[in-house]
Structure 1
Amino acid sequence: METPDLDISSYQTKTPPNTPEEDDASSNGDFEKLPSTWDFSAATTRHIKTLKKYTEKTDRASKLVQQEGPCLCRLENTLGKNSIDTMTSPLSSTSEAGEEQTNEASGTIHVSKLEYKRVDEIWNEKEGKFKIVEWVGSDLDRLDEFLFVVRERTDKNTLERTSYIDIKSPWIRDILREICENVRGVSLVDSKPSIELNIIFHVRSDLQRQREVISRGSERSTAEKHLKVFLRYLEAAFRPIDERLSELLKNKEISYDLLWALFKPNMEVYTTCKGTQVSRCVLYSQMERKKDMAGTPYMHIETRYLGSDGKALGEVPSSSSIPIFRGATRIDLLPAYPLQYHPEKDEIRSQLEECGRRFVSLLGIHHQQYKGRAFDYDEDGNIVACHVEGNIMVDSECFQENMPNYPCPRPQKVRPQWSVLGRCEAVKLVDIDPEQLQPEDFLICSPTILGFSLAMKKFLEFAVKHVTNVKWSECSFEDVNIPEGKKKAIYALTKTYIGRGADDAFHDFIQGKGRGINFLLYGPPGVGKTLTAETLAETFKVPLYTVAAGQIGVDHVRVEKILKSIFKIASRWGAILLLDEADVFLAERALDPYTNALVSVFLRELEHYEGILFLTTNRMNTFDSAILSRIHLPLRYEPLKKDAREGVWLFFIKQARTTAGHATYNDKVINDLAEKKLNGREIRNTVFIARSMAEYDGKVVNEAYLREAIETRKQLDEDFQGAGAIENTHSYL
């Protein structure tokens, strides 16, 4: 038989209404009065029909899974004959009694009995709210005399019962306020507040300690007497749960109906990041039974951790879920469970604390390297994971500026917190000083950081665990095969710009204009234009932000918006910006309105760019004069000659290192390879193929692998250059 949908525990922030207070003139109207005998008179027909409706469901309810606990009363007794007998007879608990204390002027009744009372609350269909059901002539009008009232609420649909404690004793109230000060989902603001009984399950030891402290006084205080009655009730109420829980925990197991008893407020919870699948730790706040779209029950667990929006470090809400399961299961197999039950809790704690320290060190803007799983969300809110390898920019603030609709929780501002005196205090949850963090704080830091993949040109969430410092290439700008004079000019302009001061006067005297350095690299494909920008970034150890002009589009309105964003981001990161194949923005303006609009937009945005920009194009002429006037240094690249090809082969072979070691070569090998009339891009791809094959074989790159890679590309070259065309036609015959 399937387990029914039972609302095991619902730690709601908003506590259900308390029992009526005596100074409420309309309080008597909040109760359904039942006859004290089984006289089914016309006057009580409506009330009996209500009871009959619930009684008819008893047979069905009795077949449901039996569960223990004050809020999980055995359902075979739910509003059956026994419950009706209970509601039509006096209710009492303790035998101790005190004297009544009534304010003659106001008629307000204060706590005067060392007793508690139990009442039942059911749904009133006519009035659309829960109402207390009691027998006529009972003392419901004097509920404030009791220390506390145990209110059993019956769900209108499932017949499940949830227990609430309506606190009347100011001593019990004040002690609970102090104990539950940092417990989420609990509001003890009212003078006579209500609290779900299950929450008290985890603070019984604190209550007992408070009683022991109070009892050390010379005289037995009123607070101690009230606590004694309260603790006596809690001991009896939770005894069945304690017995079941103890047996389960001996085997490190738990049942679904006792999940609420496993998670203690503010305890450390182990789970995994949904996007990167790395381990993480959060703090438990509260839980609630829910159903998914298919109607399948699950336990919704609300948690929190330390995160950052790029501006401040603070507390961020999060959540996990545990699907319903039968019987008992190992605790460490749950999607989320207390960290203390992790098989390697000490090791995982150490790892997460170190990850937290790394997270804090990455606050702000950082150029880093990454290899691993990253993710973002699609339009429907589903996680889209991908593998990222290469340089990234860590920048949470920039991420959220460019991804305003991204479903990323932000640090909460303030949370109201009530002290034992009932004074509302604002607890600051943002702008936490990282220098003041303790090991337990690092433990709950976010396992992911927001940033941008420079290779994929995409904002993503990255696992902090896989973020490392950049490993710069051994090859430098000096190895690039371009004329020495122009190489020196490029290097000097770049170095001067990067090392400039804020008050540098070498820019347009109109503020905000002309503060960048613009290079134009033009010539045939594969002659080193892109390589020039790449090696320059490696040499100066700055990010290289590459954007293909085709990714920007041709709609001038959209282009303006995208260019503005690209220039702003590149300037923010201090990156070298490479706008590749920028032909459409460089073309001479004529009669074509679309081209004119694009060039005009580009010129306007270029005026305000503050950074180093490389424009590359295969065009050899027809540049717009206005564009040329804004170029600091144009550089023309010629087709590679043999000596230039030797330099390119040498450049890439030096970088072709495998796990077995560096590549082996000599001057003769380089000279022979340079005989092949390949451009720079083709040489790069050939070396990449050779390296991949050598890595697969567990060897270093050598002449054999390089020649094999050339032969691999040979067929492609022949097909596109006409060789082998006749032979290929036979495949269609």
Structure 2
Amino acid sequence: MGIEDLVSAESIDSVDDSDSDLSQRTSDRRRLNDKKRKYEEACKHFRYRGGLTYIANDLWTKYRRYAIDTPIYVGARNPPGAAAGSEEAQPNSADGSATEKTETRPFRIRLMSEPLHSEMQDIMGLKALNYDHVAPFRAIIPYEQKFRARLKALEEQFAELAGNHPEALMVTLTRPWLPLELAYHTEIATDYFGTLTVASDTTYGYIDLTRILLDGFRALVFLLDNDLADLVRTYHQAQQGVVESIEFHQLWYLFWPGQEIVTAEPDYQVLRVLSVSGGRMSVVPRKNESSRTTVSNLLINCFHFDYDGQFVRPVLRMLSIVLYPGERPVTALEVFPLQYLESSERLRILHRGQRFSELARGTHRRYKGLNMTTHEFRKLEEVRVRNFLPNTHRLTTRALKIDGDVIIDFEMAFRSQSQGICPPEFNRTIQLIDEDEAETNDPASGISYDGEEFRARAYLEFIGETTLLEPCHLRFMEKDHLFLLPARVFGYVLLSRRWYPLSIDLVTEVHTIEEGDYDAFDDLVLPKRHRNIIRALVKTHARAKPSMEADPLDADPLDLPVRRDFDIVRGKGKGLIILLHGAPGVGKTSTAECVAAHTGRPLFPITCGDLGGTTAQEVEQNLEKFFDMAMKWGCVLLLDEADVFLGERIQGNLQQNSLVSVFLRVLEYYSGVLILTTNRVGQFDEAATSRIHCALYYPPFSKKRALEVWQKNVDRLKRTNEASNVPLRFNEKKIMKFAEKQWDAGSRWNGRQIKNAFQTAAALADWDHLKKPRDEESTPELRVKHFEAVVETSNHFESYLTAVRKSDRERARTNLLRKGRCGPESTRL
């Protein structure tokens, strides 16, 4: 039934109704004529092709109620097809530039055929399929194959009917036909109140309904094959993982719930998709936007894993891809599916996850390189979408060079609340993110383009099937967990006493000294018995307390020494406190460093500055913090210049006395290994000396020991040359002869001064070599003259200091700080 039929029917009705008022009939006639005029006006803008009715997108809403006798009403920027009465245009080619495809691709469609809509709804398994859809038609494209299958079945079904009923009107009809009573809401077929004006009790036979449904699916498949062909192709390529380049408007098909995706910077981070939204043109002007055609960013709601110190938990992220022109290679996107990453990189990410699992349990490792910074996490930062997600990374903006031992410990890192360390927000609610209403609803026309049921179903299917969103212990992680772990761990740098986010790739194993390996302990020039005493004490105490990495189930009780408790009060006196005292530069600090390395324990050096000092309460808090960390990690705790807090208490000095008392009390209950060093042992408080388990005296060097230190430095230089591309030539005999001559001349360098002399002399040798012509192929040579230059400057400085304040030995003896020598060796146990 067309517009002319409707006008004629209403005219007949008005003539037959003799009781109708003349003015009412006139009003009805005027209204009907107005409809006809608008219909004729709309027809001027309609274009027809493949059973579809096209119109310019900006006129789509205005004339949507006048599209009749068509199963699908299509709006595009440049609508294809022909005007009414002209020869129908040929279908577009699926090829063409991205710009051409965007210009001709439909922006929105309306399903006009009720039978078609109902059948599509059943095929898709939805409770309520929208009549109106906008690009990229994400609720339609995924079912393209099922629509084709249904069309094929209808073609076969109708062919059989046509064979049996060749004279039927629906068989002989050469164009698509859709009766108004089976069409979606149109202006033509309703009165002023929206009531259907055509007969609603019309019954259609099986042949009629089959033909109507067939015309609808023919039009739908024509739309898919021509106007939406590039979207269909992209969808199938995305499912197969073979997309090479892609337009922004097609990105929605590249991502789906449950898929593994990867960000490119700072290092590859794998995430799992929860839902996808945005990436579409608005149907109404957005807030604060003047253009109707504003395109939103594609938003990917996803998650990865992180460790909270006890369990691995999901951390929500919202990633964004901004509109870009033309096509872009998939791997050039800020985020793309993991399957497009090279297999070698995927394997590396998997191994990195395994490393994370090992490190996160709490480990002592080495780290060499820069720490990670805020800028490196920018790609993983949440997109600020309507203030939905807060900032969860307060990382340092400075990249610092780190080269030393670190402790990986997430629980302690989060507890520290240090600047640069912020626990991820593990407890955020997982939910389907609402879409922008500017893309889904047109309040003025009352049209809804929301495909929420389709999007929600995919989201809920993944949420219902996966177990990845549940907390998981490090031991029970599977491959799917390992991929999603971050590229960083939180580590405590023992040398700087600060927490940093560290790159897993720069974390290395700590060298364990095996039998026959080079041991720096052997390079120390120590008094007799010192080496064995301190090594035995630390080794046995450390073995009695398993390391932070040890599994208590694997421990052999017969392999551990017995821990004997001699204290009356339980919990006291379980620590090992060793005092190393003597002149500066004789090996006290080096002893502590070598002992830690030899026993495989981390060395935790702290200074008086780390403990504060303004109030006793502050010192106590800092002491307990460092002692707790050292005990948990099994560290050898080193406190240099301990006389500051263990000095003799003096009547009237309340602050100093409080600090000493606090230090002594905390020492009483410390159960770890603590090494104290001082060159002012004469100032120690009497109570402090009683708490020391072992005190080792380091006397000033004799000639024999001084020459031993020179020889150790020469040997170390030999080892350095073996590993260097530019070895430093030298004459060992001449250097040792110079060392003996220097001693006889009255120079009394300590171990640190001898080491510094080697470093300075080597620098002078390198400088002399650099000044030579470049054509000479030789290596630097360390000569005696370089040491003589160092001696000259050193003697001048020492002479000046002696003239000002006497020598260090005299001042130490005068101030009762220490005695020059107290016997060949001094050890108090």
TM-score in terms of structure 2 length: 0.56
Give, in angstroms, the shift of residue 84 of structure 1. 2.0
Identity of aligned residues (%): 25
Structure 2 CA distance for partners of 1:229 and 1:580, relative to 1, 3 Å: farther
Q: Which residue of 2 aligns with 1:409?
A: 424
Segment of structure 1 superposing worse, 629-638 or 700-709: 700-709
Report SS of the residue matched to 1:201: coil
Give, in angstroms, the shift of residue 200 of structure 1. 7.6
Q: Which residue of 2 aligns with 1:14?
A: none
Structure 2 CA distance for partners of 1:490 and 1:85, relative to 1, 3 Å: same
Q: Which residue of 2 aligns with 1:363?
A: 360
Which of 236, 245, 270 does residue 262 from structure 2 map onto? Answer: 270
Which of 512, 530, 538 does residue 589 from structure 2 map onto? Answer: 530
Structure 2 CA distance for partners of 1:384 and 1:712, relative to 1, 3 Å: same
Matches within 5 A, 1:490-639: 490-500=534-544, 504-556=563-615, 557-590=617-650, 591-639=652-700
Deviation readout 1:413-445 (Å, 9 max, x if unpaired): 996899999997894634435566555543333
Which of 732, 735, 738 does residue 669 from structure 1 map onto? Answer: 735
What is the distance in 1 between the residues matched to 2:590 and 2:407? 21
What is the distance in 1 between the residues matched to 2:252 and 2:701? 72
1:517–1:613: 8 Å Cα contact kept in structure 2?
yes
Q: Which residue of 2 aligns with 1:59?
A: none
Matches within 5 A, 1:631-670: 631-656=692-717, 657-658=720-721, 659-660=723-724, 666=732, 669-670=735-736
- Does residue 679 (structure 1) correspond to residue 671 (structure 2)? The answer is no
Q: Which residue of 2 aligns with 1:465?
A: 505
Give, in angstroms, the shift of residue 89 of structure 1. 4.5
| Structure whose alpha-carbon radius of gyration is higher | 2
Give, in angstroms, the shift of residue 192 of structure 1. 6.0
What is the distance in 2 between the residues matched to 1:671 and 1:495? 39
Q: Which residue of 2 aligns with 1:388?
A: 402
Structure 2 CA distance for partners of 1:499 and 1:441, relative to 1, 3 Å: closer
What is the distance in 1 between the residues matched to 2:570 and 2:223? 73
What is the distance in 2 between the residues matched to 1:256 and 1:229? 29
Structure 2 CA distance for partners of 1:597 and 1:384, relative to 1, 3 Å: same
2:141–2:232: 8 Å Cα contact kept in structure 1?
no
- Does residue 444 (structure 1) correspond to residue 459 (structure 2)? The answer is no
Which residue identity is paired with 1:395?
A: D
Which residue identity is paired with 1:201?
A: R
What is the distance in 2 between the residues matched to 1:269 and 1:464? 20
Report SS of the residue matched to 1:385: coil
Report SS of the residue matched to 2:313: strand
Which residue identity is paired with 2:738?
A: D
Structure 2 CA distance for partners of 1:595 and 1:710, relative to 1, 3 Å: farther
Structure 2 CA distance for partners of 1:444 and 1:612, relative to 1, 3 Å: same
What is the distance in 1 between the residues matched to 2:783 and 2:70? 89
Structure 2 CA distance for partners of 1:652 and 1:355, relative to 1, 3 Å: farther
What is the distance in 1 between the residues matched to 2:129 and 2:678? 73
1:312–1:430: 8 Å Cα contact kept in structure 2?
no
What is the distance in 2 between the residues matched to 1:553 and 1:620? 22
1:204–1:231: 8 Å Cα contact kept in structure 2?
no
TM-score in terms of structure 1 length: 0.63
Segment of structure 1 superposing worse, 701-710 or 526-535: 701-710
What is the distance in 1 between the residues matched to 2:415 and 2:108? 45
More strand per residue: 1 or 2? 1
Report SS of the residue matched to 2:584: coil
Give, in angstroms, the shift of residue 461 of structure 1. 1.6
Q: Which residue of 2 aligns with 1:29?
A: none
Which residue identity is paired with 1:282?
A: L
Give, in angstroms, the shift of residue 516 of structure 1. 0.6
Give, in angstroms, the shift of residue 348 of structure 1. 1.4
What is the distance in 2 between the residues matched to 1:516 and 1:170? 80
Q: Which residue of 2 aligns with 1:283?
A: 272
Unaligned runs of 5+ in 1: 1-34, 41-73, 96-116, 120-160, 178-190, 726-733
Q: How many matched pairs?
A: 566
Structure 2 CA distance for partners of 1:235 and 1:642, relative to 1, 3 Å: farther
Matches within 5 A, 1:418-429: 427=467, 429=469
Structure 2 CA distance for partners of 1:426 and 1:614, relative to 1, 3 Å: same
Which residue identity is paired with 2:708?
A: G
What is the distance in 1 between the residues matched to 2:535 and 2:724? 34
Deviation readout 1:233-283 (Å, 9 max, x if unpaired): 994885464478999999943444444444344433333454xxx344333
Structure 2 CA distance for partners of 1:571 and 1:680, relative to 1, 3 Å: same
Give, in angstroms, the shift of residue 209 of structure 1. 7.2
- Does residue 316 (structure 1) correspond to residue 315 (structure 2)? The answer is yes
Q: Which residue of 2 aligns with 1:373?
A: 370
Report SS of the residue matched to 2:567: coil
Which residue identity is paired with 1:386?
A: L
Deviation readout 1:129-164 (Å, 9 max, x if unpaired): xxxxxxxxxxxxxxxxxxxxxxxxxxxxxxxx9999
Report SS of the residue matched to 2:403: strand
2:643–2:681: 8 Å Cα contact kept in structure 1?
no
1:518–1:612: 8 Å Cα contact kept in structure 2?
yes
1:411–1:430: 8 Å Cα contact kept in structure 2?
no
Report SS of the residue matched to 1:621: helix
1:475–1:655: 8 Å Cα contact kept in structure 2?
no
What is the distance in 1 between the residues matched to 2:715 and 2:252? 61
What is the distance in 2 between the residues matched to 1:210 and 1:232? 7
Report SS of the residue matched to 2:670: coil
- Does residue 304 (structure 1) correspond to residue 303 (structure 2)? The answer is yes
2:243–2:330: 8 Å Cα contact kept in structure 1?
no
1:391–1:453: 8 Å Cα contact kept in structure 2?
yes
RMSD: 5.3
Q: Which residue of 2 aligns with 1:336?
A: 335
Matches within 5 A, 1:345-360: 345-360=342-357
Structure 2 CA distance for partners of 1:490 and 1:251, relative to 1, 3 Å: closer
Deviation readout 1:327-372 (Å, 9 max, x if unpaired): 4444433333334444xx1221222222222222223121111222
Report SS of the residue matched to 1:527: coil
Report SS of the residue matched to 2:682: coil
Deviation readout 1:154-198 (Å, 9 max, x if unpaired): xxxxxxx99999xx9899699779xxxxxxxxxxxxx76999977
Q: Which residue of 1 aligns with 2:81?
A: none
Report SS of the residue matched to 2:138: helix
Which of 488, 492, 496 does residue 532 from structure 2 map onto? Answer: 488
Segment of structure 1 superposing worse, 552-561 or 569-578: 552-561
1:475–1:651: 8 Å Cα contact kept in structure 2?
no
Give, in angstroms, the shift of residue 672 of structure 1. 3.1
Give, in angstroms, the shift of residue 410 of structure 1. 5.3
Which residue identity is paired with 1:316?
A: V
2:761–2:786: 8 Å Cα contact kept in structure 1?
yes
Give, in angstroms, the shift of residue 325 of structure 1. 4.1
What is the distance in 2 between the residues matched to 1:38 and 1:515? 103
Give, in angstroms, the shift of residue 545 of structure 1. 0.6
Q: Which residue of 2 aligns with 1:722?
A: 800
Deviation readout 1:508-567 (Å, 9 max, x if unpaired): 342332211011222232121101100101111111011111232212232222111100
Which residue identity is paired with 1:528?
A: G
1:521–1:637: 8 Å Cα contact kept in structure 2?
yes
More helix per residue: 1 or 2? 2
Unaligned runs of 5+ in 2: 1-29, 36-53, 76-106, 112-116, 158-212, 281-285, 287-293, 376-392, 433-455, 547-561, 771-776, 804-829
2:249–2:279: 8 Å Cα contact kept in structure 1?
no
What is the distance in 1 between the residues matched to 2:665 and 2:474? 42
